[in-house]
């Protein structure tokens, strides 16, 4: 169910994954009770961070897609920030429709938006919260923020509903061992 807090059956998670937060790595295991969580492939994570750097000095943005009915993010669609601003981002409506078609064709479902913060932490700004209320009144989307404030990029994800911000854990799958 879209917007449900229950997690999908934990089949795809590898034994070890790490939470990408600057300065420390957290090892998760199957034993941890899965609450709402966003799972990124390694490629998707790398593409989001690369897009954030490419967008400098402006905020970068894009949509991402998951396997339908899951929070397993399998595709990232870098987009232009039509606001061309270091303080806000704005998606292009036509590009958004094209991205949704591409996601459909790839068997993915758009489940959220990523944007970067060039000089502030990876936490939703008041503008982000009011945008979420407009774009996503039912709190179904995931809002990823990549902060480039520090030397190491920091990626975090949030749900937003009725002005309330809830952070959700992000797991980046480790590459399968050869
Ligand atoms: Zn923001």
What is the pLDDT at residue 7? 39
> For the chain, what is the HEC assignment?
CCCCCCCCCCCCCCCCEECCECCECCECCCCCCCCCCEEECHHHHHHHHHHHHHCCCCCCEEEEEECCCCCEEEEEEEECCCCCCCCCCCCCHHHHHHHHHHHHHCCCEEEEEEEEECCCCCCCCHHHHHHHHHHCCCCCCEEEEEECCCCCCEEEEEEEECCEEEEECEEEECCCCC
Residues in the 5 Å CB sphere of ion ligand 1: 125, 128
Output the pLDDT for position 178.
57
The pLDDT value given to residue 36:
75
pTM (2 d.p.):
0.79
Return per-residue pLDDT of the chain as tens, 178 residues: 444 443 333 333 333 444 444 444 444 444 344 457 899 999 999 999 999 999 999 999 999 999 999 999 999 999 999 999 999 999 999 999 999 999 999 999 999 999 999 999 999 999 999 999 988 999 999 999 999 999 999 999 999 999 999 999 999 988 665 5
Q: Ligand 1 centre from 20 Cα, in Å?
A: 18
The confidence score (pLDDT) of residue 130 equals: 93
State which fold the 37-173 domain adopts. Answer: Cytidine Deaminase; domain 2 (3.40.140)
Distance 36 CA to ligand 1 centre (A): 22
Residue 24 CA to ligand 1 centre (angstroms):
23
């Amino acid at each position: 169910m879209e917007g449900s807090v229950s997690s999908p059956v934990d089949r795809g998670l590898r034994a070890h994954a790490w939470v990408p937060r600057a300065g420390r790595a957290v090892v998760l295991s199957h034993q941890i009770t899965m609450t709402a969580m966003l799972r990124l492939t390694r490629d998707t994570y790398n593409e989001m961070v690369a897009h954030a750097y490419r967008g400098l000095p402006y905020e970068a943005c894009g949509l991402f897609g998951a396997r339908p009915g899951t929070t397993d993010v399998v595709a990232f669609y870098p987009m232009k920030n039509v606001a061309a601003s270091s303080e806000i981002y704005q998606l292009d409506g036509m590009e958004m429709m094209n991205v949704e078609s591409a996601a459909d064709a790839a068997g993915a479902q758009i489940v959220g938006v990523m944007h970067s913060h060039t000089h502030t932490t990876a936490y939703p700004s008041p503008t982000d919260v009011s945008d979420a209320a407009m774009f996503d009144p039912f709190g179904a989307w995931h809002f990823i923020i990549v902060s480039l404030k520090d030397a190491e990029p920091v990626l975090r994800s949030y749900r937003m509903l009725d002005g309330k911000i809830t952070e959700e854990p992000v797991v980046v799958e480790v590459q399968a061992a050869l």
